[in-house]
Amino acid sequence: MLTGIHPILHGELLAALDRLGHGDELVVADANFPAHRLGATVIELPGLAAASIVQAIRTVVPADLYEGASVLLMTAEGGERPPVQHELVAAAAVPADRVEELERFAFYDRASGARLVVRSGELRPYGNVILRKGVVNASEPREAAQ
C-alpha cells in the first residue's frame, strides 16, 4: 500500500497509467463494453462504478486541456445524457467546453486507438468515457505525503 495514492489505483493500473504520454487516450468502460477486441491493454475493475474509477484516475492523470476534447462520451439514444454520463463528467473534473460526444460506432472507432482500457463493473448503459492525458507539469505545486 502506498500513501497518498487512491486505493482503487493498484500497481498494475498505476504502471499502465504511467506508460501513457501526453495526448494518449484511455477508456473507462462499462461492463458491457467490448474491451478485449480493441487490442489495447485491458485492466478489469469489476464491482466498481465507472465514475469512481475516473475520479481515482484523475488524482494521478492530468486532463489534456491543450486543444480539442479532454473527455469523450458515447451519444446516448434519445440525445439526452443519462445520469451515469453526468457522473462521469463530474468525476473527470474538466471544463464543460472540453466535453464532447461521439455517435456509438464513432466512439468505438476512437476507442480502438486508446492505449489502455479500464473495464469497470458499471452496469448502466453509456457508462463509457475516453480521457486524453495531459502534461505532468513540474512547475505545478505538489502536496507532500502525509
Active site residues: 22
Amino acid 129 reads: V
Question: Which of 69, 6, 8, 90 lies closest to 43, judged by CA?
Answer: 8
Beta carbons of 111 and 130 less than 8 angstroms apart: yes
Measure CA 6 to chain center. Answer: 15
Residues 6+ apart with CB under 8 A from 47: 121
Question: Which of 141, 128, 139 lies closest to 25, judged by CA?
Answer: 128
Q: Record the cell numbers describing residue 92, joined without a space.
A: 473527470
Element (H, E) at 81: none
